[in-house]
Structure 1
Amino acid sequence: MNKQMYWRANIRYLLILLSIWFAVSYGAGILFVDQLNNLRIGGFKLGFWFAQQGSIYVFVILIFVYVRLMNKLDKKHDLDEK
């Protein structure tokens, strides 16, 4: 097992997933709010929805994605629970 390769893959996953979360929460909730407010979800403007709830949903989804990725990485490096 190469611990350095494992750690690099872990950090790469974290950076990618946190970048996605940043893009969704900052981009959709702040930068593109005016363009997104032209659309509505459940009667609420889409920009408002992303700022209030959308980024939280994306974060929760990314947690599940991270768990799945780490389980695969653990198996690859023979660190999974047996």
Structure 2
Amino acid sequence: MATSVLAAGEYSLAPDQAGRFLRETFATAKNAETLDQAAESLVAQMRSKREREPGLGYPALRYIDPQAEQLKTLAIETGV
């Protein structure tokens, strides 16, 4: 499921964006003590630059993304 989510680009299914994101962030994630710390750091960096995480969100759904809401619910239910 995570691969499918990351395979979606900013505006289309563009795996090159997800691949670039993984390549650029792998070293940071690898050097962090935990994956949670790596994720928090990477997301904070992206937000400070007003960048979007690849594969998350859809331009036509600015305020509520039903797919993202379902993913959040599933993550909470499964403890991810």
State if a TM-score over 0.5 links the two structures: no
More helix by share: 1
Compare the two structures and name the one with the higher strand fraction. 1
Name the larger-Rg structure.
1
